[in-house]
């Protein structure tokens, strides 16, 4: 007897199930494990599991002297190496009330802004790649190599340089430094228009990022989301404007704020920040004064007993160094308040009710660097 | 708001706070039992309006264990430091403030992981960075670990 | 690169099998040549060395011309795992599981000082595995913190020479030990 092909299929209950975006995954940008609970394709919640790159840097700092800790700050958020070093140097210099020469301040500001451009180039490269546009990866990394060449000429290393030291710099800049930086600025101004053409105007990209991952300003403040991710929601948190250090109170630059709070706003903040960084470098590159490249420091650095807090603006947000010193040459307790740690805590909240493919776009727009979370 | 007025306003809101010597921020010690109520008052009052908790850290000072809160107001621009301490090293416990500032959820989990300080009423207090079955609290000063640590 | 420019040719000669069968020698050579010139790695980057590995794949140093054409996300499809970055106690079981899931023949390159021996995190650290060869057998060590892209390419070339020397059944025997 033929079966009746029109009998209805019994209804299948849709249940929530959990999938594991494990530590080894092409688009988590590091070793982050997300246990996502899904109903169909809609994300109902997610739990991040960190600690897969927890190296115990804070415990190691209690046994290292201050110049040795510079090398550890490099390896924490490895895309803002100079800015992390700058934080520790400022902590020591403000605690001992040492005034660094003007030349040092100029060079540090220029290197910091080059670091910021380089970090945003790598972010753009991997963000485009995650959304499927592999061309972005090649364009972004090709242009980033030019900045690495400038650094290699002056400091000797492409990556993880440990160039700053409490009191100044390890050594003076190369004589061709200014010429190469100006050439880079001319080159990159043309190339960044290519970036806009490839991704910013692309219909697929706009559909995948408009109104995805919405975060209001109150949520950004409550969760402590700083940096370009917070400024995309209208939270004015740029440490360079509110608590200026180095030469940021003497150069003219805008703090980029967008109010929409979606992935596209966070993307636009970072693209505009690249323009602003180039503008800052242009104001400073021709006016580097002559002078020493380091102030006179004692051989052994001992901070007076007490508590110190130093904030800087890395490419990801507000980095804070909290140091309790008891007068020895090593800190008693050194805590790093890293921006990616707080930025991760908001991922659960803003990805609810979106599809799992959008989760990749949201995670990419928050620009998480996992060793920054785990330290 | 200048510092003197801020100090007076805080002492009116939280009378049990004790001032501490610090050159950088106004620092107050708060009794552990009153932490939650006072933090809520500091956030909701319009003259202080501390809506941004930018750092929460634990510290093992030998005799006592303390938790340090760095608060800032995004509207008014001032910042203070609050501290709570306990001498109980076996089972230190404080109230959670993650219902006031959501960023504290992750920070308190990390402090529990590395120092062993429990937070009452925390929605999900479990280890964050280390493995679930790790024994001991590494950032305490009396942490010994012959297996893992190679001393220099 | 010419053979005399490579270092450590003696160890490589000791891998060479003696007394191979006459009939299948040429086919073995062709198979080894093919396998060594198309090693596909697994996407595995833990920390800073991962960025230098990405830079090696970028247009300037381009390791696609060495045969590393694409990165495979699934361990089943990958030939080599380049351990780039620090391995910590929590990540170690995951790495072991990934290595076990890879299909034979498989190779390991330990890239960077952290993977070779613990690197800058050797002393005073409670959570770092001091060298990835505590967990999985390593074929090539590439030191540096981080190693330059040229150093990683040199490591890949050494691995290619190692693959060319041993024949397929022999390698299975060595790996089974």
pLDDT for residue C173: 47
pLDDT for residue A116: 93
pLDDT at C168 over 60: no
Q: Please check whether residue A11 lies inside any domain of the structure.
A: no
pLDDT for residue A187: 92
**B115 near A CB under 8 A:** no
Q: How far apart are CA A211 and CA A340, in angstroms?
A: 22
pLDDT at A13 over 70: no
Instruction: Please report the ipTM that was assigned to this predicted complex.
Output: 0.89
Reported as a single tens digit per residue, the pLDDT across A151-178 is 999 988 888 888 999 988 988 888 989 9
Q: What are A320's two structure tokens?
A: 């804070």
Reported as a single tens digit per residue, the pLDDT across C44-65 is 888 888 888 888 888 888 888 8
Q: Please check whether residue A56 lies inside any domain of the structure.
A: yes
**B60 near A CB under 8 A:** yes
Stated length of chain A: 375
pLDDT for residue B62: 84
Q: What is the CATH number of the domain that holds A288?
A: 1.10.645.10
pLDDT band at C21 (very low <50, low <70, confident <90, very high): low
Helices C25-36, C149-165: axis angle to 10 degrees equals 160
Q: Please check whether residue A294 lies inside any domain of the structure.
A: yes
Chain C residues touching residue A137 (CB < 8 angstroms): 58
Q: How far apart are CA B15 and CA B5, in angstroms?
A: 15
Residue ranges covered by each domain of chain B: 3-120
Chain C residues touching residue B130 (CB < 8 angstroms): 90, 127
Reported as a single tens digit per residue, the pLDDT across A104-116 is 999 999 999 999 9
**B103 near A CB under 8 A:** yes
Give the count of domains, chain A: 1
Check CB contact under 8 Å for A345 and B57: no
**B151 near C CB under 8 A:** yes
Chain B residues touching residue C124 (CB < 8 angstroms): 149-152
pLDDT at A200 over 90: no
Q: What are A67's two structure tokens?
A: 């110049």
The minimal CB distance from B128 to the residues A51, A63, A318 is found for A51
pLDDT at C169 over 60: no
Q: Please check whether residue A353 lies inside any domain of the structure.
A: yes
Is residue B134 classed as helix, strand or coil in its secondary structure?
coil
pLDDT at B142 over 70: yes
pLDDT at B23 over 80: no
The minimal CB distance from B152 to the residues C89, C90, C124 is found for C124
**B135 near C CB under 8 A:** no
pLDDT for residue C17: 56
Q: What are C164's two structure tokens?
A: 């060319």
Q: pTM (2 decimals)?
A: 0.89
| Domain C40-176: which CATH number of 3.40.50.12280, 3.30.930.10, 3.40.30.10, 1.20.58.1610 | 3.40.50.12280
Mean per-residue pLDDT, B38-52: 84
Question: Containing domain of residue A142, as a range?
Answer: 17-374
Which of A183-192, A208-217, B137-146 has the least mean pLDDT? B137-146
**A224 near B CB under 8 A:** yes
pLDDT band at A274 (very low <50, low <70, confident <90, very high): very high
Check CB contact under 8 Å for C126 and B151: no
Q: Please check whether residue A265 lies inside any domain of the structure.
A: yes
Mean per-residue pLDDT, A193-200: 86
**B25 near A CB under 8 A:** yes
Q: What are A146's two structure tokens?
A: 């030019």
Q: How many helices and strands in chain B, by DSSP H and E?
A: 3, 7
**A221 near B CB under 8 A:** yes
Q: Please check whether residue A272 lies inside any domain of the structure.
A: yes
Chain B residues touching residue C127 (CB < 8 angstroms): 130, 138, 148
pLDDT at C162 over 60: yes
Mean per-residue pLDDT, C107-126: 89
**C125 near A CB under 8 A:** yes
The verdict on domain B3-120 having CATH code 3.30.460.80 is yes
Distances (CA, A) of A60 to A66, A332, B149: 12, 11, 10
Chain A residues touching residue B61 (CB < 8 angstroms): 324
| DSSP designation for C77 | G
Check CB contact under 8 Å for C90 and B131: yes
Q: Please check whether residue A4 lies inside any domain of the structure.
A: no
pLDDT for residue A130: 86
Element housing B93 (H / E): strand B93-95
pLDDT for residue A86: 92
Contacting chains of B (3 CB pairs or more, <8 Å) are A, C
CA distance A118 to chain C (A): 12
Chain C residues touching residue A84 (CB < 8 angstroms): none
pLDDT band at C167 (very low <50, low <70, confident <90, very high): low
């Amino acid at each position: 007897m033929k079966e009746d092909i029109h009998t209805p299929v019994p209804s299948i209950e849709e249940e929530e199930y959990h999938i594991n975006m494990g530590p080894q995954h092409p688009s988590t940008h590091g070793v982050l494990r997300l246990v996502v609970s899904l109903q169909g394709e809609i994300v109902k919640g997610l739990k991040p599991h960190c600690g897969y790159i927890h190296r115990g840097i804070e415990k190691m700092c209690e046994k290292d002297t201050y110049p040795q800790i510079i090398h550890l700050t490099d390896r924490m958020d490895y895309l803002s190496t100079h800015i992390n070093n700058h934080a520790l140097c400022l902590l020591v210099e403000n605690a001992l009330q040492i005034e660094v020469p003007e030349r040092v301040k100029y060079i540090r500001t220029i290197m910091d802004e080059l670091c910021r451009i380089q970090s945003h180039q790598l972010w753009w490269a991997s963000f485009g790649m995650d959304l499927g546009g592999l061309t972005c990866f090649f364009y972004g990394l090709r242009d980033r190599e030019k900045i690495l060449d400038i650094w290699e000429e002056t400091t000797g290393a492409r990556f993880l340089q440990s160039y700053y030291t409490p009191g100044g710099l390890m050594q003076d800049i190369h004589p061709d430094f200014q010429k190469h930086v100006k050439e880079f600025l001319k080159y990159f101004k043309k190339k960044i228009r290519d970036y806009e053409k490839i991704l910013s105007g692309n219909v697929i990209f706009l559909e995948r990022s408009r109104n995805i991952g919405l975060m209001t300003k109150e949520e950004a403040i409550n969760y402590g989301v700083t940096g370009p991710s917070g400024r995309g929601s209208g939270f004015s948190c740029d440490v360079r404007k509110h608590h200026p250090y180095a030469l940021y109170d003497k150069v003219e630059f805008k703090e980029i704020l967008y109010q929409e709070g979606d992935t596209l706003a966070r993307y636009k903040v970072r693209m505009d920040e690249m323009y602003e960084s180039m503008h800052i470098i242009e104001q400073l590159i021709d006016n580097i004064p002559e002078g020493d490249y380091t102030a006179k420091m004692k051989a052994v650095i001992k901070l007076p007993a007490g508590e110190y807090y130093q904030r800087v603006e890395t490419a990801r947000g507000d980095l804070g160094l909290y140091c309790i010193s008891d007068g020895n040459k090593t800190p008693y307790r050194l805590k790093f308040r890293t921006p990616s740690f707080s930025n991760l805590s908001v991922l659960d909240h803003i990805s609810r009710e979106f599809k799992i493919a959008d989760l990749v776009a949201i995670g990419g727009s928050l620009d998480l660097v996992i060793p920054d979370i785990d330290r | 708001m200048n510092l003197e007025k801020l100090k007076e306003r805080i002492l009116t809101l939280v009378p049990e706070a004790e001032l501490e010597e610090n050159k950088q921020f106004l620092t107050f010690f708060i009794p552990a039992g009153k932490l939650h109520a006072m933090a809520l008052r500091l956030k909701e009052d319009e003259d202080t309006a501390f809506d941004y908790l930018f750092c929460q850290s634990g510290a093992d000072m030998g005799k006592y264990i303390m938790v340090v809160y760095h608060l800032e107001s995004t509207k008014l621009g001032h910042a203070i430091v609050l501290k709570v301490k306990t001498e109980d090293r076996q089972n230190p416990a404080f109230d959670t403030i993650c219902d006031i500032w959501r960023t504290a959820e992750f920070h308190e989990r990390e402090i529990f992981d590395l120092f062993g300080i429990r937070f009452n009423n925390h929605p999900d207090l479990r280890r964050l960075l280390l493995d679930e079955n790790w024994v001991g609290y590494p950032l305490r000063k009396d942490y010994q670990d012959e297996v893992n640590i190679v001393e220099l | 690169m010419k053979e005399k420019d490579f270092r450590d040719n003696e160890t490589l000669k000791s891998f060479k099998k003696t007394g191979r069968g006459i009939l299948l020698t040429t086919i073995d050579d062709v198979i080894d040549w093919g396998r060594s010139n198309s090693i596909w790695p697994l996407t595995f980057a833990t920390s800073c060395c991962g960025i230098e590995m990405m830079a090696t794949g970028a247009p300037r140093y381009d390791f696609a011309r060495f045969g590393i054409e694409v990165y495979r996300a699934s361990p089943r499809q990958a030939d080599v795992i380049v351990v780039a970055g620090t391995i910590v106690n929590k990540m170690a079981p995951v790495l072991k599981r990934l290595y076990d899931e890879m299909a034979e023949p498989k190779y390991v390159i330990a890239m960077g000082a952290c993977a070779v021996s613990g690197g800058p995190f050797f002393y005073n650290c409670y959570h770092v595995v001091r060298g990835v060869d505590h967990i999985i057998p390593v074929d090539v060590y590439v030191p540096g913190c981080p190693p330059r892209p040229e150093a990683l390419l040199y490591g890949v070339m050494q691995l290619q020479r190692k693959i060319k020397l041993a024949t397929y059944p022999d390698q299975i025997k060595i790996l089974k030990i």
